[in-house]
Amino acid sequence: MPDTSAAPALPLDRASLESTALRALELARARGASDAEAEASASVGQSVTVRLGEVETVEYNRDKALAITVYFGKRRGNASTSDLSPESIGRTVEAACAIARHTALDEAAGLPDPRRLYRGEAPDLDLCHPWNLPVDSAIALARETEDAARAVDARITNSEGATVSSSDVDFVFANSLGFVGGFPSSRASIACGVLASEAAAMQRDYWYSSERDPARLETAAAVGRRAGERAVRRLGARRVSTADVPVLFEANIAGSLIGHFVAAASGSSLYRRSSFLVDAAGEPVFSPIVNLDEQPHRPGAMSSGWFDGEGVATSARRVIDAGILTGYFLSTYSARKLGLETSGNAGGSHNLVLQPGQDDFAALVRRMGRGLVVTELMGQGVNPVNGDYSRGAVGFWVEGGEIRYPVEEVTIAGGLREMYRGIVAVGRDVLVRGAKSTGSILVERMTVAGH
C-alpha cells in the first residue's frame, strides 16, 4: 500500500477557514441580521481510471467554498460562493441578506437551541488519513486492479475500468450563538467493473472498497478478483416464472432497504406528510428481530461526527428496538415543524448499524429453501408516500436450500411496510457501505415477476 505520511496541501488551512466563516458572520450582523451561520470548506482530490490497461481519465480537484445563512427574525436567506476574496464574501453575505428580506415569515426558521450545541474540544475520531498517492502510483494500482479482474476467467472480455480515488476535506462551521467547530476527513477508494461473455450472452458486475484510511482498503488484487468472479458467476442467467417467494438481499445492496427507511423517517418527509411512516414513532415498523443503532462516534467511520450540520451534539441511540421505531431523523427546522426536538441529524444519519444474527450467507440460503437471492437492483420504483416497492433485479435462484443458477430480467415487488415486518433474518456477513453497516437481509415473501 502506498505511503500515507504526507498529503497535498488544502487550498486553505484551518485558521483561514475559521477566519472566513467568522468574517461572514460579522458582515451579516453589520447588515442587520439577527442571527447567522456560515461554513467554510476546502478540499483536494484525485481520481484515476484505467480501462483495458490504458489510462482513460486523470482528474484533480482543488476547491474552496463558503455558505452563509442569515436570519432576519423568522425570515431566512442563504447564498454560497467558491470565491473567497473579501469582496466576494461581502457580495455573498449581501445576497443572503437580500433573499431573507424578501422571503415569507417561517415560524420554524432559526438557529438551534443553544443548549443543544456541542461544546468543548472534539476528540479525534480517526477520520483523516490523507493518501499521498502520486498519479503514477494510482495508475499502477488501477492497472493491478483491472488485471486481477481480467485474469479471473478467459470469458472476461471487456472492462468498464478500474478507478482509484482519494479526497481530503476540512471545514469550519460557525454561528452567531458562539459555536465554532470543524474537523478534517479523508476518503480513499478502489473500484472495478468488468464484463464477461459466453456465446451471445454478456454480463457485467463490479466491486469496490472505500475507507477513511487507505491502509484499511481491500487490496487492489482482491477488489479486481471479486469484480471478475461476480461477473463470471452471472453467465448463463435465465428468467424465472412469476412467484411469491422469499427474497434474500445480499449484504452489498441490503443497505438500500435501510436507506428507504431513513428517507421515510426523515423530518422533511414527515412534516410534508409524504411518508408512509407519518405518526409511526413508538409503533412496530420492522420485524421484532430487527435492532438498528445510530453510532455517530464510531472511530474511522464514514459518517462520524460529534455534531451535526447545525452544530447540534450527536448521540448514540437505538432507532429500531426489537422492531419498534423509537425516533425520527430530525434537524432543528423539521423538528419545529413537527413540534418535536432535533435528533442531531441535520445533514443526515450517522453510521447506522443493523445488528447481525447468527447465520452466515450460506445458512440464509439454506433457510430460504426456495426463492431469489438479489445481488443488484435497478430502477427507482419506490414510492415513499405509500411504501410501494418495485425494482428490477438480478441474482440467483435457490431450490432445495442451494443456489441453482443466475437470474436476470425480473422485478421484485411488495410494500416496504410488509417487507420490513417480514424480515426473518439478518446475516452475520456484515458489509459496510457508506453510512450503513448490515449483513444480508432475508425477507419472508415478495412477488418475483418474471415471464
Tens-place pLDDT, residues 191-200: 999 999 998 8
For the stretch 127-163, pLDDT in tens is 999 998 999 999 999 999 999 999 999 999 999 999 9
Structural domains in the chain, CATH included, are: 14-232 (3.30.2290.10), 237-451 (no CATH)
pLDDT tier, 120 (very low <50, low <70, confident <90, very high otherwise)? confident
pLDDT tier, 287 (very low <50, low <70, confident <90, very high otherwise)? very high
pLDDT tier, 8 (very low <50, low <70, confident <90, very high otherwise)? low
For the stretch 217-248, pLDDT in tens is 999 999 999 999 999 999 999 999 999 999 99
Indicate whether 2 pLDDT > 50.
Answer: no
Structure confidence at residue 4 (pLDDT): 40
Indicate whether 3 pLDDT > 50.
Answer: no
In the chain, helix, strand, coil percent, each to 5?
A: 25, 40, 40
Chain mean pLDDT for the chain: 95
CA 348 to chain centre: 9
> What is the C-alpha separation between 284 and 299, in angstroms, rounded?
31
All cell numbers assigned to 101: 428580506
Residues 6+ apart with CB under 8 A from 434: 210, 255, 302, 303
Q: What percent of the chain has pLDDT over 90?
A: 94
Structure confidence at residue 450 (pLDDT): 85
For the stretch 323-363, pLDDT in tens is 999 999 999 999 999 999 999 999 999 999 999 999 999 99
Question: Which of 253, 168, 256 has its CA nearest to residue 212?
Answer: 168
> What is the C-alpha separation between 192 and 173, in angstroms, rounded?
36
Indicate whether 22 pLDDT > 50.
Answer: yes
Over its C-alpha atoms, the chain yields an Rg (Å, rounded) of 24
